[in-house]
Chains A and B, each alone.
Chain A
Amino acid sequence: MHMRIHRTGAVLLLVLCSATELHAQGDPPALSSLRPVGSPALVLFGVAPSDIERPTSPADFGVLLLSRARELTTVPQDFAAEMAPYWLRPRRTLTWQDDVSRTVLESALRTLAVSVGTAALGTEDAPVSGLAGGLRFQLLSGTLSRESQDTLRALESALAAEGALLQRMMAPRQAALDSLLLARLQEAGALTDSTQRQAARVAALALHESARRELLDDVLESDAFQDSTAAGRRRFDNIVLERVGPKLEVSAAAGWAFPGAVWEQGRLNRWGIWAGFSWESGVAMTRGPRFTPLVLVRWIAQPGDGEPDYLDIGGRLIMSDDRYGVSAEFVLRDPRGDVAGDDDSLYRVTGMIEYQLRSDSWAMLTFGRDHDSTREGSLIAQLGLRVQFADDRYRKP
């Protein structure tokens, strides 16, 4: 039997204050434009939706589609979803040791993410809905650092010890339950009729499991168990697993515009392709901050806007520790076709600071200038809070 308890997962982005309109339509997003792209479909339209659906199973994905398929003649508003196909079904035989290093194919499959999203592109008088789809994957995703592997081995031992503690605390009462179960099973075994024998065994197991569950709950809720495990778990509260070495991520997306949100009037509006290469070292500094250089090439075509296509080439340097990240980026933009204004000014310089407030929330500060410094909204100044939350669910055979 399979049982499932409802779960929701979402990332909430709260913009606390913004000095200006951060970006015009068609520009890359103000926040971390050179980071490995989270959702290419959303980046294409330069939007940061407040809620991204992340289905984690085929059933979740089906429910999501059904819930959004009520009015197929119009484009749904404020919708964003991303899913990782490889992880939609259980990977029972994939241990963490198997995932320390990856072939190119394994890397591409395990990091593949498909995203879709919608955005309002037009004005209040002439609304245009945008619908975009995209994907990303890493051809190279580095290897799990030696330090991370040591951490996981230590965590394995700690988790096994926690289980051993639970067994010891259950043992005095468990022995009586076991004796009762074995007596019932021996009685069942003496039955000559196989159907009756099987039914008696099932009943014995059910009775045992019910009593054992009660015992288990008593121990798990006891102060003695909770206090003992809390100390061990605190050691691993903020573990950070790092993949080091070369990483090459490829992303692509295409977006369609729907004037008046009418499906049949949709046309291709823009498309783009990104490639980012970075190299993170986990050996040079085992203590203190790490430095990660990143190079990115991006081509954006905008056939539907009458805007020029452009090629972005840029670099980003990230300094990070367990709880913070500081980065600076520079992007040079090369427009193709007729361009108004001074080409020389088309570059972008930004700095970004992220700080982990709690295990599930980060504060972010971004500042700098966007590509065209004469354009409204070219000043980038943003303070934000990113919160992640989720409930639980489980399945039992």
Chain B
Amino acid sequence: MADITISDTKLYIVIPVEPVEIRVEIGDAQVGGTSIMLDGVQRQVGDEWERIGGPGEDLSFKVVHCVTTVRDVNAATNHTSVTYTLRGGLQQESFPYDAVVSEGGVARYVIDFVFVA
């Protein structure tokens, strides 16, 4: 079965030197994992708030790359959904995505967030 890949690039307005946090929620009782990469440094994030960048780091005009891979394990639905939420910038914003896959299929969300001041 072929994977479904969703790709998108979004802007997020940050306040220079203010910390930015991200939370990634995988809904529909499905299972998935997220890797984020900033300046070549990778780490896994989940549905808890995670700080992006180091203390005092200016994130203006930087790109954080997120890849969330979700597999359908819920017998009741083949729907998958991922919500990225950012806070610490001008305002808290949520970016929802969803996909319907085949039974046991995989949806891959490849989302870039570009921080602008």
Contact = CB atoms under 8 A, between A and B. Distances in A.
A198 to B, nearest CB: 10
A166 B109 CA distance: 11
**Residues of B contacting A: mostly:** strand
A354 to B, nearest CB: 16
Contacts of A397: 8, 95-97
Interface in A5-26: 7, 9
A265 interface: no
A149 to B, nearest CB: 10
B79 A209 contact: no
Given A390-B78, A392-B4, A90 B97 contact: no
Nearest to A181: B114
A239 interface: yes
Interface in B65-84: 65, 67-71, 73-79, 81, 83
Contacts of A171: 37, 40
Interface stretch (A92-100, A120-128, A284-292, A323-331): A92-100
A186 B62 CA distance: 11
Interface residues of A, number: 62
B5 interface: yes
B96 A87 contact: no
In this complex, the member of A166, A209, A359 whose beta carbon has the largest number of chain B beta carbons within 10 angstroms is: A166
A94 B102 contact: no
A95 B26 contact: yes
Nearest to A171: B40
Given A56-B79, A92-B81, A168 B42 contact: yes
A156 B32 contact: yes
B73 A167 contact: no
A159 B8 contact: no
Contacts of A388: 103
Contacts, number: 178
A94 B30 CA distance: 9
Contact of A94 (B28, B40, B99, B110): B28
B29 interface: yes
Interface stretch (A212-220, A246-254, A364-372): A212-220
A391 interface: yes
Contacts of B103: 9, 360, 388, 390
Interface in A161-212: 161-164, 166-168, 170-171, 174, 178, 181-182, 185-186, 189, 201, 205, 208-209, 212
A92 B77 contact: no
A227 B89 CA distance: 40
In this complex, the member of A160, A164, A397 whose beta carbon has the largest number of chain B beta carbons within 10 angstroms is: A160
A108 B69 CA distance: 30
Interface residues of B, number: 62
B100 A7 contact: yes
Interface string B33-53: 111010010101001000000
Contacts of A91: 27-29, 77, 79, 81
Given A96-B29, A182-B61, A182-B63, A90 B79 contact: yes
Nearest to A166: B67
Nearest to B116: A185
B18 interface: no
A156 B32 CA distance: 5
B31 A163 contact: no
A163 B112 CA distance: 13
A87 B28 CA distance: 8
Contacts of B16: none
Nearest to A110: B76
A182 B114 contact: yes
A175 to B, nearest CB: 8
A86 B27 CA distance: 14
A95 B71 contact: no
Contacts of B26: 95-96
Nearest to A189: B116
Contacts of A359: 104
B99 A394 contact: yes
B29 A98 contact: yes
Interface of A: 7, 9, 56, 84, 86-87, 90-96, 98-99, 110-111, 152, 155-164, 166-168, 170-171, 174, 178, 181-182, 185-186, 189, 201, 205, 208-209, 212-213, 216, 220, 236, 239, 241, 359-360, 388, 390-397
20 contacts: A56-B77, A90-B98, A92-B25, A92-B98, A93-B27, A96-B29, A163-B108, A164-B37, A168-B42, A170-B65, A181-B63, A181-B114, A186-B61, A205-B114, A359-B104, A390-B103, A392-B4, A394-B4, A394-B6, A397-B96
Given A164-B44, A396-B8, 4 more contacts: A94-B28, A95-B47, A216-B5, A388-B103
